[in-house]
Amino acid sequence: MSNKNQIMQPALPFAENALEPVISAKTIGFHYGKHHKAYVDNLNKLTAGTEFEGLPLEEIIKKTADKQEHTGIFNNAAQVWNHTFFWNSLRSNGGGKPSEVLMKKIEESFGSFDDFLKELTEAAKTQFGSGWAWLVLDGNDLKVMKTPNAETPLTMGVTPLLTIDVWEHAYYLDYQNKRPDYVTTVLDKLINWEFAANNLK
For Mn ion, the binding residues (CB under 5 A) are 165, 167, 170
CB of 178 to Mn ion, least distance (A): 17
Whether the CB-CB separation of 196 and 90 falls below 8 Å is answered with no
Q: In 3D, which of 73, 88, 14, 66 has the Cα closest to residue 39? A: 73
CB of 60 vs Mn ion, minimal distance in Å:
19
142 pairs with which residues across the strands? 137
Least CB distance to Mn ion at residue 36 (A): 7
CB of 31 to Mn ion, least distance (A): 6
Residue with Cβ nearer Mn ion (134 or 167): 167
User: Is the dihedral angle over the CA atoms 39, 168, 194, 104 positive or is it negative?
Assistant: positive
Question: Which CB sits closer to Mn ion, 111 or 148?
Answer: 148
Burial class (CB within 10 angstroms; exposed 0-12, middle 13-18, buried 19+) of 196: buried
Residues 45, 48, 54: CA angle, nearest 5 degrees: 115
- In the complex with Mn ion, which residue's Cβ is closer, 38 or 156? 38
Comparing every residue's Cβ against Mn ion, the nearest one is 165
For residue 39, the minimal CB distance to Mn ion (Å) is 9
Q: Minimum CB separation from Mn ion for residue 144, in Å?
A: 19
DSSP-derived letter for residue 32 is I
Nearer to Mn ion, 12 or 170 (CB): 170
**Dmax of the chain from CA atoms?**
52
For Mn ion, the closer CB: 34 or 45: 34
Angle between helices 71-88 and 57-64 (to 10 degrees): 130
If the CB atoms of residues 39 and 110 are measured against Mn ion, the closer one turns out to be 39
The span from the CA of 82 to the CA of 74, in Å, is: 12
